[in-house]
Chain A
Amino acid sequence: MKKPSSQTRVARLPSRPLEFAIESLIRVLGFSAIGFVTLIFIFLLTEGLPAFLQVRPGNLFSTRWYPTFDLYGVLPLISGSALVTITAMLIAFPMGLFTAVFVREVAPNWAREVLKPLIEVLAGIPSVVLGFFGMTMLAPIVREVLGAPTGLTALTGAIILAYMSLPTIISVAEDALDAVPKSYRDASLAMGATRWQTIWRVVVPSARSGILMALMLGMGRAIGETMAVMMVTGNAARMPEGLQAILKPVRTMTATIAAEMGEVAHGSTHYHVLFGIGLILFAITFLINLAVASMMFQKRSRGGLR
């Protein structure tokens, strides 16, 4: 800070009432996040709850989704989302954990310098671009290799989703590993354990709740993903049955909203049901976050995200 300039600035300082106004405004802005979440919840509730009143539960929780015939069975959509998300996590969680361990515990500096920016790039690629890539490049591979008729299958969606949730999983897991005190590693190494043994018997176990958080947040990310999934899963609203369901088209909750909301009459039953599905999605991500937040506040007393 140069002295004269800061003095001239001080001479032209705002008067106290203005300052009070600014500070009040900042307080209001600080509370705004709560306001927005509440507002979103209220809108989903007012537009989504009528669905549960207008559609009989027997219809709503059936396995047939044909809105044109007033059949609003959401089970195929929920199980479609579940199938794609769980498969994605089976791929992404081990990959993400191993990569986080590699980056934090093993990798030489140059490898870290290559990996980290590339993972950031992945986080920045728009979902519609990944969907486009999935349609034009990945789907043909799935078709050729696994013999699925179109290549637009639950598995194709799960692979794309796995990569989309990797940046989240890796960065949260890395933070968790980072929060393990160095003394734990030193103690283990001093007992004669190798670095490999130290990682899997000391570091990872003591970071386990942070790693669980990584899995949960990755899952939240995957279940809410819309465009890429809509473009590569083939969008057939059928109940997935048996193991080969993974090689058949599915339809997720998010894709259903995105594909159909543009065409429904505002205020119709179909419109309210789509908001109802949005309400379910909101509730799922809210519960995931609540669980993660409560874990975080508990662990904070132990110092860091372990």
Chain B
Amino acid sequence: MTQRHLIQRLGFIFLGLVGFLVVAPILFVVGSIIWRGAGALTWRFLIEMPHNGMKSGGILPAIVGTLVLTAGVAIVAIPVGVGAAVYLSEYATDNWFTRAIRLAIVNLSSIPSVVYGLFGLGLFVLFLGFGTSILAGALTLAIMTLPVIISTAEEALRAVPAEFRTVSASLGGTKWQGIRYIVLPQALPGILTGVILGLLRAAGETAPILFTVAAFYLPRLPHSPFDETMALPYHLYVISTQVPGMPEGVQNATALVLLALVLTMNLVASIIRSYFRRRREW
């Protein structure tokens, strides 16, 4: 082996080590949260109201709050996001205006989450008078989720071969019929993956809901869209930094529930993606 091949060998080993250094802590974080949380997690913890200043009992209202918020995000963000993606992939021409839209989407995706919180507070809570409510929080999170949904849905729509559209048009279909009956159904798995990825981001966010929905301690289930609610990520923040003398078991179990929720959604998204990628005929 010449010297430069030795350097190459050592270099490749070094790169592999860096790769290991990137992923090993990920495994460690996930593993330790599962390990420490599993011991403290019981069924009662999932289905009971918190008692005794959250130091005992369960986290049901936080779980329900997060699910309700996520559903609210889905109702708003899916139609708007998929509609925008259809526009970008099927109608937009490559001009300065389309570039401005793309720049706006990239921008939305990189606005700090706490700035979304400020915006939600300014527009929904105060200006529109929704108060700190599920409605205000879900709308804030929905706008934050849009860029993820738009870009993945657009990618899925663009992956549908142009021939599908041509054939639909040649059979006398209008442009919208082609989209509605051919392109959208074909792109559905890809769109679904993007939607789930967007929703899981919304479910795990804390900063945007700090001033728009989150209730510090509210041991009941939400009644209406104008209700405040507890939410899992905010609850984890509260019990790990704001309440002195919190039992470690409650903290660990809450972290595990939140992580499990998000990782399950992640897993579902990748199963959908790989299942349909294998099955599709083009």
Contact = CB atoms under 8 A, between A and B. Distances in A.
B206 A227 contact: yes
Contacts of B119: 39-40, 43-44
26 contacts: A14-B176, A34-B104, A36-B146, A39-B123, A43-B123, A111-B16, A120-B270, A124-B200, A124-B204, A126-B259, A127-B206, A128-B236, A129-B33, A129-B259, A130-B29, A135-B241, A136-B240, A194-B5, A194-B8, A196-B8, A196-B11, A231-B237, A231-B241, A257-B115, A258-B114, A262-B211
Contacts of B75: none
Contacts of B25: 163
Nearest to B10: A196
A23 B52 CA distance: 55
A56 interface: no
Interface in B194-238: 197, 200-201, 203-207, 210-211, 233-234, 236-237
B18 interface: yes
B229 to A, nearest CB: 16
A125 B104 contact: no
Interface in B1-36: 4-5, 7-8, 11-12, 14-16, 18-19, 21-23, 25-27, 29-30, 32-33
Given A125-B262, A127-B206, A128-B204, A107 B87 contact: no
A257 B271 CA distance: 38
Contacts, number: 272
B162 interface: no
A170 B105 CA distance: 21
Interface residues of B, number: 91
B143 interface: yes
Given A13-B177, A196-B4, A285-B111, 19 more contacts: A10-B177, A29-B83, A29-B84, A29-B86, A29-B87, A36-B104, A43-B118, A122-B26, A127-B206, A128-B204, A128-B233, A129-B262, A133-B255, A227-B113, A227-B233, A257-B114, A261-B210, A278-B118, A281-B114
Q: Classify the secondary structure of B's interface with A.
A: helix
B147 A33 contact: yes
A69 interface: no
Interface string A170-195: 10000000000000000000000011
User: Closest 6 A-B residue pairs measured CB to CB?
Assistant: A30-B87, A224-B112, A126-B204, A29-B83, A196-B8, A102-B15
B92 interface: yes
A220 interface: yes
Instruction: Name, among A33, A221, A286, the residue most crowded by chain B CB atoms within 10 Å (CB to CB).
Output: A33
Contacts of A66: none
B156 interface: no
B122 A47 contact: yes
Nearest to B112: A224
A126 B263 CA distance: 10
B22 A6 contact: no
A106 B150 contact: no
Contact of B80 (A29, A125, A278): A29
Q: Classify the secondary structure of A's interface with B.
A: helix
Contact of A289 (B106, B143, B206, B255): B106
A121 B205 contact: no
Interface stretch (A70-78, A93-101, A142-150, A237-245): A93-101
Nearest to B14: A98
A217 B270 CA distance: 25
B56 interface: no
A266 B126 contact: yes
A128 B122 contact: no
Instruction: Name, among A14, A46, A118, A166, the residue most crowded by chain B CB atoms within 10 Å (CB to CB).
Output: A118
B118 A274 contact: yes
A254 B118 CA distance: 11
Nearest to A101: B15
A117 to B, nearest CB: 7
Contact of A128 (B11, B84, B121, B206): B206
